[in-house]
Each structure stands twice: as structure tokens, then as C-alpha cells.
Structure 1
Amino acid sequence: MATLVNKPAPRFSAPAVINGEEIVGNFSLDQYLGKKYVVFFFYPKDFTFVCPTEILAFQEKLAEFEKRDAVVVGCSTDSEETHLAWLSTPKGQGGIEGVTYPLVADLAKTIATNFGVLGGDYSYDENGNLIFEGAPIALRGTFLINKEGIVKHQVVNDFPLGRNIDDALRMVEALAHVEKYGEVCPANWSEGKEAMNATKEGVATYLAAH
């Protein structure tokens, strides 16, 4: 899979559920250009097992992302109607009721394909019939997109491996720090910790102090 880092995020217009209850037909990340950082994440399927833990964990941290000028948007290859049904199902019944950030429907699988996270590939058999090898659903991809629409960070997990929401938040903090101060963020950096100047002297000073 080719990386999208430092490239424009693939653009799309697709159905989505917003505010946990309203279906819109032409949702796009373009609305955030020049305004917000975007944490755009893919998950495999609605009404499954690891996925609701991640989706609800993003919701729990949503105010923290918003304080850092970031929005969270989820996406899977389910339909918008399935998204809405899941959003209307109580947590105690395996649902994600209470989630308010947008969930995009990628039923055609074009968004997942363009972001490089579809869990397989289309090909043809010996008779010329179209087949799919792998799983025709999205891997657990997370993309941090800056306000100019450029991907600055991506990480992709296999289906059984839930992602770390705190680290997604940390990357928003790191990107904002780099943009504001022109410094670079060393290993295990988090908001409030010392960063360093991207010079030989700056690195030496930082390493000597740590």
C-alpha cells in the first residue's frame, strides 16, 4: 500500500449520518478545508465487536479533539441506513447510540480503495469473471489531514487490532505544535512536553537533557 502522507487526501462526496440521526446525501471533507484538522478513520463493519469500542472511544474523546480544532469522521463500507440503525441501537444491545460525529457510507468501496485500506483486491478468474480476493471491507485505517487537505499521518491496523484513540489525539497535538512553533516532536512526545529544533545543535541539546 502506497502512503498518502504529504499528499492531498482523496476527495469524495458520499452519504453519511450526521448528529447520530440525520442522513445526508453528499457529505464531503471539503467543508473543513481551511478550518479544521480532520481525523478520518475507517472501520470494518457495523454491528460487530471491536468496531463499537473504537467508535465509542472516539466519542468519549470528541471534546478533546474539538478543543484542538479537529473533527472526527468515521467511515465503513456499510450503507447509511445500516449506520443509522446502529446509531439508534443502545450500547447495552451492541449499538453506538450517542455518537454524534459523522459516519460515512462507502457502499461502493471507492473511498476505502482510494485511501488504500480496502482489505483485498478485485481480479479476474481464468474464465474472465470478476472476483475479489481478501475481505471486501475496510481495514482499520486512521488518517490525520491538515487544514489544507494534506495527509500528515496515517496508520493502518488489521481487523482484530483495535487502535489507540489517545495516540490519534496526540498526533493532532503534535501536528498543531509543529505548525505553530516550527519545532519537531521527538519520540513519545505529548502536549506540554519539550520539543526540539530541527538542527544538529537542537538535537544535541535535547538528547543531553534527556
Structure 2
Amino acid sequence: MSVINTEVLPFKATAFHNGKFVEVSNESTKGKWSVFFFYPADFTFVCPTELGDLADNYAEFKKLGVEIYGVSTDTHFTHKAWHDTSDTIGKIKYPMIGDPTLALSRNFGVLIEADGMADRGTFVVDPEGKIQIVEINAGGIGRDASELLRKVKAAQYVASHPGEVCPAKWKEGEATLSPSLDLVGKI
């Protein structure tokens, strides 16, 4: 069952953010674009490369009004310890949500029940709290923040330009399509 255009289920969780523990909920994310970036575990191998890549691109997401939420089933205390001991994770400025109850991972359908960890799931959520983009990767396959940034720009463009769609490999400023009977069979 697809989760596209479904609303994020209610949740409350604690995140480590800018040296503090803060509460994050589905309600606190409404009104802005959000990316929920699930990863298996702190102190691992592929995860810090992905989180570091997001940290390097965070300013670009913020310019678009997008908040990033890194999420694993570790606690917010573990996130702080990792942040304090790793140069790569230490540069993160976005909230790192702890999900030790597994509820958030379960809500988004990325929980690996047998392991108590999350799959590599990426969810772009619009300001109304509806999921617009979903990407799930196998554990050994890292994601690319620049590709995610491109997809977010496309989602924002489509949301603000009803009747237009973004073709494959679309980049900001390039031509879009306006689906109509005239285009059928001509692309």
C-alpha cells in the first residue's frame, strides 16, 4: 500500500538538536516542508557518510524552507554521544530524533522488526503533513543529498504550479510539462 499523499501519523519524540534535547511531533512539523531521513544505527559505517552529506547540504535545504530530521532507533542520548565524538556527525545542525520505542519507524513502515532498526528510508513531507516522496534503500546502499535536494525542489515546484509536472532529470529552471490530450503519444 502506497503512503504517497497520506498524512504522517501522530508521533512525539525527543531529538538532539544544537546541543539541546527538544520535542518533535507531527504537529510541530506542519506548516513547513520536512525530510524524515531514517537510518539503521549510530556509530556505524554507511550512516555517517549519509548524515555528513546531508550536513554539508543543510544550508541549501534551509534556503528552501525545509527541515531535515535524522531518525534512528537509538536514543537522543546516543545521538548526543555520537555528535560529541565524531567529526562527521559533529557538523550536523539538523535535529536527530531518537526512536527507541520504534513507534516512528513503525509509523513510516521502515522498521526491521527482527533487528529493531530502521531501513534507509527517506520521506519528503509537505507543509500539510502529507508524504510526497518516498525512497527506501537496502542497508548497504547510501543516499545522495544532492539528488534529494533536486527531488525536494521538484516537489515544491509541482505543489506551487498546479497543472505542471517535472519530467525525469528535471532541474530548477528547466522546462516542465503540462499534461494534456495534446501531449499523449508525443513525448
* Contact 2:33 2:67 (8 Å CA) reproduced: yes
Residue aligning to 1:127: none
Shift of 1:5: 0.7
Shift of 1:65: 0.7
The one-letter amino acid of 1:199's match is: S
* Contact 1:196 1:203 (8 Å CA) reproduced: no
Residue aligning to 2:120: 140
Shift of 1:113: 0.7
* Contact 1:5 1:152 (8 Å CA) reproduced: yes
Deviating above 6 A after TM superposition, structure 1's stretches of 4 or more consecutive aligned residues are none
The one-letter amino acid of 1:49's match is: F
Residue aligning to 1:181: 161
Which residues of structure 1 form unaligned runs of 5+?
121-133
1:47 to 21, 43, 51: 43
| 3-state SS of paired residue (1:135) | coil
TM-score, structure 2 normalization: 0.94
Q: How does 1:171-210 map to 2 (within 5 A)?
A: 171-182=151-162, 183-202=164-183, 207=187
| 3-state SS of paired residue (2:172) | coil
The one-letter amino acid of 1:176's match is: Q
Which residues of structure 2 form unaligned runs of 5+?
none
| 3-state SS of paired residue (2:166) | coil
| 3-state SS of paired residue (1:154) | strand
2:25 to 12, 25, 28: 28
Once structures 1 and 2 are overlaid, which stretch shifts more, 180-189 or 99-108?
A: 180-189
Shift of 1:9: 1.1
Once structures 1 and 2 are overlaid, which stretch shifts more, 179-188 or 103-112?
A: 179-188
* Contact 1:140 1:159 (8 Å CA) reproduced: yes
Q: How does 1:65-80 map to 2 (within 5 A)?
A: 65-80=61-76
* Contact 2:9 2:26 (8 Å CA) reproduced: no
Per-residue CA deviation, residues 140-199 of structure 1 (Å, 9 max, x unaligned), is 000000000000110111111111211211111011111222210111112121111011
Larger Rg: 1
Q: How does 1:9-28 map to 2 (within 5 A)?
A: 9-19=8-18, 21-24=19-22, 26-28=23-25
Distance 1:203 1:185, change over 3 A: farther
Identity percentage of aligned residues: 38
Distance 2:177 2:153 in 1: 15
The one-letter amino acid of 1:12's match is: F
Residue aligning to 1:156: 136
Shift of 1:201: 1.9
Shift of 1:204: 6.1
| 3-state SS of paired residue (1:196) | coil
Distance 2:62 2:172 in 1: 15
Distance 2:29 2:74 in 1: 23
Per-residue CA deviation, residues 96-145 of structure 1 (Å, 9 max, x unaligned), is 1121100100001111011100113xxxxxxxxxxxxx322000000000
